[in-house]
Homo-oligomer: A and B are copies of this chain.
Amino acid sequence: MILSIDFNSDEAFYIQLRNQIIIGIATGRIREGDSLPSVRQLADNISINMHTVNKAYSVLKQEGFVKLDRRKGAIISLDVDKQRGLEELKEEIAVAMAKGICKGIRREEVHRLVDEIYELFANWEEG
């Protein structure tokens, strides 16, 4: 899987990495047990600092997506707390939806959007 940085984005590098890896898991390109590149290796590949990669991995660990092993590096290991996941998801999309409501977006249109995103992730094509 290809990880890359948009140096012109206003999103922090470590957030960009985090998001790409989460999407990688959601789309099945990375699976439970797979290992991520070592912090130094990935940092070299994409020309950013080791500590920035380390921060991305630490966040992923804290959020329950990977386990860090001094022997094997970062291993995808999903800590599934569905109830908590639902609560977090609700909180994360609430403001965005409020914004959408102000713009006249109706309930059915959000449902359609949700389906679109599920399709997008299910039929993901690299690149």
List A residues at the B interface (Cβ < 8 Å): 19, 22-23, 25-27, 63, 65, 78, 80-82, 84-86, 88-90, 92-105, 107, 109-111, 113-118, 120-121
**A95–chain B nearest beta-carbon distance, Å:** 5
A113 and B86: CB pair below 8 A?
yes
A105 to B89, CA, bound (A): 9
B95 and A113: CB pair below 8 A?
no
A63 to B97, CA, bound (A): 14
Chain B positions within 8 Å of A82 at CB level:
103-105
A25 to B99, CA, bound (A): 9
B101 and A65: CB pair below 8 A?
no
B85 and A103: CB pair below 8 A?
yes
